[in-house]
Chain A
Amino acid sequence: MTRQTVKFYQVGSRAVGNRLLPADLRTEQSNPDRRNALNSGHRACQGCGEALAARYVLDTAIRVTKGKLVAVNATGCLEVFSTPYPESSWQVPWLHSLFANAASVATGVAAALKVTGQDDIRVLAQGGDGGTVDIGFACLSGMFERNDDILYVCYDNEAYMNTGVQRSGATPPAARTATTEAVGPAPGNPFGTGKDMARIAMAHEIPYVATASIAELHDLESKVERAMSLRGARYLHVLVPCPLGWGSTPADTVRLARLAQRCGLFPLFEAEHGEVTNVLPMRDPVPVEDYLKPQKRYAHLFGDHPQPGVIAALQALADRNISRYGLLPSPAGGEVTR
């Protein structure tokens, strides 16, 4: 790898490693010598959450594995904006095959590395929510079931963004997409649909499942590190706001990711072999409105014809998460236990 000067991408003082911290507590993103696995020059939209997440996840994975890593990518925004032939943003060995098969392709890569005596080289598969929870579901479940030695990372922007914002199995209730328009008696994505992919992964009782956020960089990096310290099938689900699809300001991307966690709609937790082992308590909890308001995909819940009932229903979902995972900080302190 040729050396190049790496920028510090400013995403808020809590996110980029806080250079006031002692060196050993800083994030990889604050390290000028980091791999920068997804290099500058890619064609992502301004404010793309997935571009941030991919860099964060891979840079940590590369640090932990000392560079012995191979990435397999599903079709989607990430793949499209990162490899416009003849250019590539990737500073890791990287393979893109199809939309539905990242997990299976990774299975094959892992098998090849194992059989050639190179299983010190680790495999990371990644895809968007569509490629993971919908079209890639069978392949992912197969990978889980076989306990193949792969970390699968889902960058969840909650719809098929690359094709123009269509609803996926990860689209939250009430959200507007091009196939669940904000029209009619029940505007937006119906309630009572959708898959909780992290819990489905847990149901496979694989060694490690975690949810993570680009707004909690330390937490995300430590989860990647934990994942890479284990063998077998591992799953990481990262919420990545999409300004285009969510109808939000590019500058709000990290803030929205933070609000998703702060209102309880996107709980941050870890699980091993089907049991929750760790939860990141909500810091400064907020009502769901604070999270929904900055996103045009929820605009139909506010404005001229407000839908307080729908907002209440979404709050109920958040409350359910809060109760299920114990997200409210304990009276004694509320720091993350590891």
Chain B
Amino acid sequence: MFEIRIHGRGGQGAVTAAELLSVAAFLDGREAQAFPSFGSERMGAPVASFCRISEEPIRVREPVTTPDAVIVIDATLLHHVDVFGGLSPDGYVLINSARGLIDLGLSELTERHPVGNVIALGATDLARKHIGRPLPNICLLGAFAALTGTITLASLEAAVRDRFRADIAEANVNAARAAYEAVGMVSHA
């Protein structure tokens, strides 16, 4: 089982991201589960969402406490919320930030994990460029696909197209592709 935990703030699409992740995994022919940690409807409050991907039907319902991957949509959460709690030793980290990992104070974390597993990507800028709004969640999923290989880009695109109106979907697909390629280039560097 591969477990992902996504951290963001209310309104940034952390919940949608987990859902799309699960749909993409499903479209890839796997079993998947996604759910949020639930607070009241409030913009800006820290939110965590979870996704599990497996070959077998998933019965467990508890929040993800030992994630194989952590996605951080809002870097201001980094020293606020224990976003990396329980992260497995060879886990992945994807942070939405144009700043470098050292700049973010994450050099120690980066060293503890396999090379290339911990990355930062300026997804908000990519989102602004491709969809015209600073909504980086789907863009980050493209990066996630490249980083971990747990979902295919094709399924992610299908999930996005199924969920959103055509114009919005296409814009987000472009952002996801751009992120996918950006990460691909980094990991092959």
Direct contact between A and B judged by beta carbons closer than 8 A: no
- Residues of A bordering B, CB below 8 Å: none
